[in-house]
Amino acid sequence: MGSRLFKTFNVLVTFLVLLFVVTAVTTVLVRGLPYIPTSLKAPELIFAIKLSLITSIVSTAACLLTAMPVAYTLARYNLPGQGVAANLLRIPLTLPPVVSGVCLLLLFGTTTFGATLARMGLRFVFTVPGIILAQFFVNLPFLITVLKAAIESVDIRLEYVARTLGCTPARAFRKVTLPLIRNNILAGLVLTWGKALGEFGAVLMLAGATRFKTETLPISLYLNMATGDMEALMASAAILIMIAVLSLAVFERAGVKPYERVPGL
């Protein structure tokens, strides 16, 4: 009796949560889809879509190139203060994105470091590179956590065996560890890309909300809400949902299930 009641409770809660999520998403799609054909004729929305795709892809690639060596270091090496370093790297995960944006704005906008970069032609405040930097800063700790857990799941003795057979550490990683965590990498990338695509708070604070300049899809939502253009708002929201669902469907089709194969999630 107790077992059946426990199962019924869990299934009921699961059903209610699923119903809530599906209803919320479906509401946006049902109301936004009819406006998409008209909205796609607007140059502003096309600009926002292109900018969102470009910046999210670039920032995700930058996250991967940076997160892999950091994750490997944390997973495989014993360094002084390693635990403290790992916790410090997780700070952006616990910060509200708006606060992350403020941190970046102060660093690159009001310090000597930011002024020096600006004189060198590297400007991040109210620019497209600022969008990429904000997405990178917010999402890098997430991908580091995913990749670290994936690397730790691979027995380190496999790398040692490869080294005894003549492989360098880099080759052992490339030939042994990397193939074993391939699905985890793909899963982490699709989730990181989705988070970058929808990043708003940090982008708003660092890059601003300027039409036809730093207007990503989330920023477009914000601007349309501010001006009361509900048709464009719902169209943008529906497009974001469709892109997110499509990306997950593509990886499901390829045999990668992000929410099932990412260790630590």
pLDDT tens, 75-127? 998 888 888 988 899 999 889 999 999 999 999 988 888 888 888 888 999 99
pLDDT of residue 187: 86
Residue range 194-208: average pLDDT?
93
Tally Cβ neighbours within 10 Å of residue 230.
13
Check residue 254 and give its pLDDT.
56
pTM of the model: 0.88
Give the C-alpha separation, 112 to 41, whole Å.
Answer: 44
d(CA 145, CA 188): 9
Among residues 223, 218, 202, which one has the least CA distance to residue 124?
202
CATH number, domain with residue 53: 1.10.3720.10
The number of domains in the chain is 1
In the predicted model, is pLDDT for residue 264 greater than 70? no
Range of the domain at 62: 2-261
Widest Cα–Cα separation across the chain = 73
